[in-house]
Structures are given as C-alpha cells and as structure tokens.
Amino acid sequence: MVADSSTLLWVTGAYFLLVFGVSIWGYGKSKTEEDFLAAGRTIGPWVGGAVLAATQISAGTFVGTLGRYYFTGVSWGWGWFGVWAGWMVSAVFVAPKLRKFGALTVADYVGTRFASEAARTLAAVLIIVCYSILLTAQFQAIGEIASAVFGITPMVAMGLLLASTGFYTALGGVRSSSYIEFVQTLIMIMALVFAVPVVLSHTGGLTALGEYVGSIEPRVTGWWFTWKEILATGLAFGLGIAAAPYEMTRYYSMRDVATVRYAIGVSMLLQVIIAGSVLTLGIGIRGVYPYLPSPDQASSIMASTLMSPLLGSLFVVAMLSAIMSTVNSILLVTGGAFAHDLYKRLVNPQASQSRLLWVNRISIVVLGILPFWFATMKLGDVQAIVVEQAKFIASFFFVPVVFGLNWKRGTKQGAIWSMVVGFAGCLIWTFTGQHTVARHGVDSVEVGVVLSALAFVIASRLTPPTAQKNLAIFFDESQDLPREM
Amino acid sequence: MGFGWSLYGFFIAAVVWLAVYFLWAWRAARHDREQGR
C-alpha cells in the first residue's frame, strides 16, 4: 500500500518502541489493583479526553466510515450528533455519579447500587460475552488491513496484534494504557489533519471539489439520507455510547468529577476534528477517484497514491493506533470483569493485591486468545459485528445504568429482568430478520432498550426498594449534582 | 451544485455544541466549588 516500505518500517518501529517504553514504565507504577484498573485515580482532562476518544475511534472509522463518506457524502456525518448526544447523557446522568462512587469495574456499580451479587455476576458475564465478540471483529479487521498494507497473512497479523496489545495491556494496566492512548490519539489527529490539505490540493480546493462531486451525484454534497434515517442511526450510536462499559471504567481513573466532565468535552472536541477530517477526506477522494470498485478502498488508495511516504506511513500507524486502542480498552474491561467481579467475588475473596494483579494480567491474555480463535473462523462481516454488539450492550445495559443512577426506586429484580429482557429482545428482533431500519422503521436497539426499560420499571415497582445504605452512595442529597444545563 | 448547509451546517452545529457543553461543564465545576465539594 505505501510505496516506500523502509519509511513505513521505521515509523512503525518507532511507534512500537514508544508503546512498549510507556508500558514498562506503567508496570513499575502498578502495585495494587486500584493502580492497575484505575491508574490510582490520577488521569487529568486532556489525557482522559484522548483516552475516551481513542477507545471510541476504531479502524472502522478509517476504513468503513471514510468509505461511507466517499459513497454517500456529507449527510452521514450528522449521525455523529447522535454519538455526541450519548456523551452528553453520560456527562449529565452517568459519569459524575460513577466517579463519585469511585469503584474499579462497571459490574461493581451494578452490585453495589442494586445490592445484588447475582446482578453483578450477570452484568460481568454479559459484558465479557459481548466484548469478546467485539474483540473477534477487531482481530478480523487487523487481519484484513495488515494483509493489504504489509502483505502478511491475516493469521500472523492477528497474532502480532494479540501479542503486542496483550503485552502492553497486561504489563501496565490502565495507567500506561492511558498515556499510550493519548499518544495514539495525537497520531490519529495528525495523520488525518495533515492529509486534508494534501487531498484538497488534488481537487483544486473545497469549492471546486463540491461542484465536481455534486455534478456526479448531487446527494453527495446534499442529503443522501432522510432526517428519519439520520435520527435512527444517531439514536442507535448514542444509546450505545451513554452506557458503554469500556468508556465508563475510564471515568474511575480520573482525578475528580470536574475532570470527568472536562474530559468528555475534550473527547468530543477531538471527535469533531476526527469526524470533520474523515468526512472531508472521504468526499475529497471521491473527487480524485470518482469510480473506485469499493468505497472501503478509499483510504488505502489515498495513502498509497496521494500521500508522501512519510505521511502515508503515519496514516498506516494511525490505523494501527485506532485498532490497538480499542482492543486495549476491551481487554482491560473483560480482564477486570473476570478478575475483579468473578474471581475475587466468587472464587477467592481473600486474594492478596499481588495475586489479584496477576489474575488480572492472566485474564487479559486468556480472554484475548479466545476471540483470536473465533476470528480465525471468520464468523461474519467486521462492520456488522461491531454495530450488532453495540446494540446488544445498549439493550441490556443502558437502562440499569442510566435509570439505575437516576431513579431511586429501581431494585435488583428490576436490574436483573431489564438485562435479561433487553438482551433477549435485541436477540430475537435481530435473528427474526427484523433488524434493519429500512424494512420496519424500528431497529433492534430500540426494541431492546424499550423492553429493558419496561421490565426495569415493572419489576422494580413489584419488589421492595433497595436498602438505604446502598442508595445513599448514589443519591445522597448533600452530595447531589448540579442541575443547570 | 457545490456544498451547502449539509456540510457547513455540520461544522457550525459542532462548534455550537462544544461551546454549550464546555459552558455547562465550567458552570457545574463552579457550582461544585461553591458547595465545597
């Protein structure tokens, strides 16, 4: 893909040296489980914001999303407002209360808020299952990208991804991962922002680009999608973001509540830069190469034909960064869910800090190997797996998190039923072939969330309230949150 | 036919969105400080 392979090797080599250097530094700093899973609560707003952005941006943004802009144009970009609405919901109704609680995992919240070990265990198991599926998609994606970029087999590429990301995640935990993700976000921003003027220079500028691609297909510069389609897509993304476990666990690692709010703002600022750049690049490549056989080829064609060897190499490393940061965040959540919520609670409650640290590390490696094995069997299309698992997470987790943190009357039976019914509703709607917006107008995530909410409210109303000592942690009036907006 | 509101509106809306968000975050932090939290 990138013509000058020696430049690519140097840039990639420097990147990996930096990543491993930071992870070794993090290893020396992690003495307790709190250090490993919450970075000792030391992360500030800029690093925190970059972490949240890096976790959300994946290889799909560089390939699938860019290709979507190439083919359908500007209007797909409005779906980002659904993502940012999800962040707003999290900033107002979820993140401050979670940070005040200051636990280590998302299942910690479920167990404490609803005073139920069964609800905690169910949440941990569902998170591990859904995120293992998401990890499978990430492994498949790296296999496809690496075989196109480096010319190596998907199996070798997946093995290298697991070895490198598993190594630095298991070594330094959230502390070093956070600083690595800060660097990865900077790389992604640089690659995208530098690429925009290069591509526009080939099109004669923005105005000329608009006139040219508009003459080929007017909907590319106008409205390809109806507002209903944009709203449905935005809602699906937003519901997934508002209660995404791999973002929620990162709130615990930040200094205080104000830091969490600012970090979400920084994350949205970085996402605006990334979204605007990817959008401009997608349409820009349409102006240079209007008739590519597949929209997904747009980014690789751009890196290999329009960019200098150095910028092309930076773009490839940015794609690597996007996928590694997502894999890293998933591994931290699944490893933590197993070690902290299953092993420590159910198997060995007396485990020492040192033992818990090692169980976390071993869990990360083992829970990375299982999806690797699934990925070798190629269970489905990468983009479809990513989107579907996000719908399942939102279906079983949005209500227990957002309702649970803001409605005192929610009970453990409500939480358990909402998770079971939300998951089952999404599953049934998906596998009875009724999951596409275009056909029925109702998406599986909307079915899952509505059923989950009904189950939560009905079961909670029919059962005794949660103990006051558990509610006080999240609803103590003396520590109530500001209401202005 | 060039770019219209679908492109320029996206960027304007994003900037307004961020401005409103940071204003809220700043006011919330000030409220917390005043309450001694």
| Facing residue for A479 by CB, picked from B25, B31, B37 | B37
Whether the pLDDT of residue A59 is over 80: the answer is no
pLDDT at residue A71 is higher than 80: yes
Looking at CA atoms only, how far is residue B16 from chain A in angstroms? Answer: 11
- To the nearest whole Å, the CA of B10 is away from the closest chain A CA by 7
In the numeric block, which tokens belong to residue A419?
Answer: 């998770």
Q: Note whether A62 and A333 are within 8 A (CB).
A: no
Q: Is the pLDDT of residue A484 over 50?
A: no
Name chain B contacts of A272, Cβ cutoff 8 Å: 14-15, 18
State what percent of residues in chain A have pLDDT above 70: 95
User: Taking CB atoms and an 8 Å limit, are B28 and A218 in contact across chains?
Assistant: no
B21 touches chain A (CB under 8 A): yes
* pLDDT at position A318: 92
Q: Are A298 and A68 in contact (CB under 8 A)?
A: no
Q: Is the predicted ipTM greater than 0.85, yes or no?
A: yes
Q: Does A221 touch chain B (CB under 8 A)?
A: yes
Q: Which member of A73, A223, A261 has the closest CB to residue B28?
A: A261
> Nearest Cβ partner of B7 from A74, A91, A264?
A74
Name which of B15, B21, B27 is nearest A88 (Cβ-Cβ).
B21
Interface test with B, best of A269, A271, A476, A483 (most B CBs within 10 A): A269
Per CB-CB distance under 8 Å, the chain A contacts of B4 are 221-222
pLDDT at A436: 57
Q: What is the pLDDT of residue A7?
A: 87
Q: Out of A84, A221, A262, name the one closest to residue B17 (CB).
A: A84
Q: Do the Cβ atoms of B3 and A276 come within 8 Å? A: no
The string of pLDDT tens digits covering residues B1-37 is 678 888 999 999 999 999 999 999 999 999 988 887 6
Is the pTM for the entire model greater than 0.95? no
Nearest Cβ partner of A482 from B15, B21, B32? B32
C-alpha–C-alpha distance, residues B7 and B11, integer Å? 7
Inform me whether the C-beta atom of residue B2 falls under 8 Å from chain A C-beta atoms.
yes
pLDDT at residue A482, rounded to an integer: 40
Tell me whether B10 touches chain A (CB under 8 Å): yes
Give the pLDDT band (50/70/90) at residue A435. Answer: low
pLDDT beyond 70 at A444:
yes
H/E segment holding residue A457 = helix A444-461
Q: How confident is the model over A123-148, as pLDDT tens digits?
A: 999 999 999 988 888 888 888 777 77
Cβ-based contacts of A476 with chain B (< 8 Å): none
pLDDT higher than 80, residue A107: yes
Evaluate whether A254 touches A413 at the Cβ level (below 8 Å). no
Q: With 80 as the cut, is the pLDDT of residue A150 above it?
A: no
Length of chain A as a residue count = 485
End-to-end C-alpha distance for chain A, whole angstroms: 48
- Is the CA virtual torsion A218, A222, A226, A231 positive or negative? positive
Among A69, A74, A207, the residue to mutate for chain B (most B Cβ within 10 A): A74
Residue the block writes with tokens 């929610």 = A410
According to the model, what pLDDT value does residue A202 have? 95
The answer to whether A74 contacts B28, with C-beta atoms less than 8 Å apart, is: no
Reference A314, options A6, A7, A3; nearest CA is A7
Which parts of A289-352 fold into alpha helices (H)? 298-305, 309-336
Q: Nearest C-alpha of chain A: how many angstroms from B28?
A: 6
Average pLDDT, chain A: 89
Position A145 scores a pLDDT of 76
What's residue A172's pLDDT? 86
Among A223, A268, A276, the residue with its CB nearest the CB of B11 is: A276
Say yes or no for a CB contact (<8 Å) between A258 and B3.
no
Taking residues A281-298, report their average pLDDT: 91
The model's confidence at residue A185, banded by pLDDT at 50, 70 and 90, is: very high
Residues 98-157 of A with CB under 8 A from B: none
Q: Kindly identify which residue of chain A lies nearest to residue B11, measuring between CA atoms.
A: A276
Q: What is the DSSP string of A52-67?
A: HHHHH--HHIIIIIHH
How big, in percent rounded to 5, are the helix, strand and coil portions of chain B? 80, 0, 20
Chain-chain contact of A74 with B22 (C-beta, under 8 angstroms) = no
Each as own residue / partner, the long-range contacts of residues A224-229 (CB below 8 Å, 24 or more positions apart, any chain) are A224/A72, A224/A73, A224/A74, A224/A75, A224/A76, A225/A72, A225/A75, A225/A76, A225/A78, A228/A441, A229/A437, A229/A438
Q: Name the one residue in this structure whose structure tokens are 């939102």.
A: A394
Asked if A113 and A470 touch (Cβ cutoff 8 Å), the reply is: yes
- Interchain contact, A210 vs B6, CB within 8 Å: no
For range A217-238, the mean pLDDT: 86
Residues 6+ apart with CB under 8 A from A175: A26, A29, A30, A35, A36, A39, A40, A42, A253
Cβ count near A80 (within 10 Å) = 25
pLDDT tens-place string over residues A315-358: 989 988 998 998 999 999 999 999 999 999 999 999 998 999 99
pLDDT of residue A440: 62
The confidence score (pLDDT) of residue A483 equals 36
Contact B31 A484 (CB under 8 A): yes
Alpha-carbon distance of A411 to A457, in angstroms, equals 9
CA dihedral A138, A388, A130, A429 (to 10 degrees): -160
Q: What residues have CB less than 8 Å from A461, skipping those under 6 apart? A: A409
Identify whether the C-beta of residue A38 lies closer than 8 Å to the C-beta of residue A253. Answer: yes
A263 touches chain B (CB under 8 A): no
pLDDT value at residue B1: 65
Mean pLDDT, residues A291-312: 87
Per-residue pLDDT tens over the stretch A464-474: 999 999 999 99
Cβ pair A98, A248 in contact under 8 A: yes
